Amino acid sequence: MLGSKAANAARLVIANRRWRFLIATGALVAAGLFALALAATRARAGFPGANGPIAFVSDRDSPLPVINDDIYVMDETGASPIRLTSDPALDRLPAVSPNGKEIAFATTRSTAAFPNPERDFELVVMDIADDDGDGEGDNLRRLTDNATNDTGPAWSPGGKKIGYSSLEDGDGDVYVIDTEGPAEAINLTNESPSFDGQPVFSPDGDKIAFVSQRDGNFNVYMINADGSGRARITSNPAADAQPEFSPDGARLAFTSTRDGDNDIWVLDAAPEGPANVPVNLTDAVRTSTGAVPNDRWPAWSPDGGKIAFWSGTGNGLTDGEIFTIDTDGTDPANLTNMPEAGDIEPDWGPSRTE
């Protein structure tokens, strides 16, 4: 009987890990349930400033055999991670605000204050502080409320708007919503029936980079902040996703499978071509056992000197770690170094400003 219980517990852990994988890879898109696409609809933006907190998702404190994702923050050395959510629902895709005070994230929680009977992903914002000691970031407020998944929040530079991905109109689009007061979300990409998502604002707020399948495979595109002026940035038969502007707006980091595995690539923030060839930053990164990992989810440091990313073998969920690397591809460093947990989806915010 004990062996049977242990086996059942192990199967439950595997099942929960598989659910986590479906969220992170976008397999639910094909099932018509849209959660997140192509290693999830990433959040964030690269805002200039002094290096502040790195937000990330971890299952390290899960009450096994249940796997639960919560939001944590740590400094750039990986020291003393602080847990900011403890709800039994899934909390994913953290995005640090441009003033370093708040985190927007996607959650399936349903509470008396924020009922969510569908248990779909909705966007919320909280302080990067738990002064009342309740295990949750203070001043939680809800941004979206509908019967479909809203994911991948990305702050505008002034913090007044958030871009995100949603299936509200049926096919997956990029939306923008005001962060203060009730407002109607605006669909910026509804001219295409294909999936559009993973938006990120440029540091000056004039542009939004995003991922689209409109030309067949996943590539990075750019539009003006009002949805006009669409331009294709990457043009490779591989999958390119998860764009991230450098803090000066001159370059884009993104995840690509163009070398066979997932790696972090960088190019100028302009269409790919002979004069703008992407560079693979993480091709030489290896696990502690020497295995070749999949590296994804770039998050530029506010000072522009490093990129944080999620690295792990296979889908990267059971052994995911948060790394940093210099922007010339040197000095990779494992910040989380917790092989028994899955640490994923980093976002690097600026230090707090008043």
pLDDT(39) > 70: no
pLDDT at site 28: 32
Q: What is the pLDDT of residues 157-172, one digit of tens each?
A: 999 999 999 998 888 9
The proportion of the chain whose per-residue pLDDT surpasses 70, expressed as a percent, equals 86
β-partners of residue 223 are: 208
pLDDT at site 259: 92
215-226 average pLDDT score: 96
pLDDT at site 234: 98
Question: Tokens 């400033």 appear where?
Answer: 49
Nearest-angstrom CA–CA distance, 150 and 179: 14
Q: Which CATH superfamily is domain 2-350 in?
A: TolB, C-terminal domain (2.120.10.30)
pLDDT at site 319: 86
Q: Which of 31-40, 277-286, 302-311 has the lowest mean pLDDT?
A: 31-40
Q: What is the pLDDT of residues 73-90, one digit of tens each?
A: 999 999 989 999 999 999
- The C-alpha torsion from 28 through 193 and 149 to 182, rounded to 10°, is 170
Nearest-angstrom CA–CA distance, 172 and 26: 12
pLDDT(32) > 50: no
Q: What is the mean pLDDT of the chain?
A: 87
pLDDT category of residue 309 using cuts at 50, 70 and 90: very high
Q: Which two tokens stand for residue 58?
A: 């971890």
pLDDT category of residue 93 using cuts at 50, 70 and 90: very high
pLDDT(13) > 80: no
CB atoms within 10 A of CB 133: 7
Domain map (residue ranges) of the chain: 2-350
pLDDT(47) > 50: yes
Q: Are strands 186-187 and 173-178 parallel, antiparallel or unpaired?
A: antiparallel
pLDDT at site 42: 54
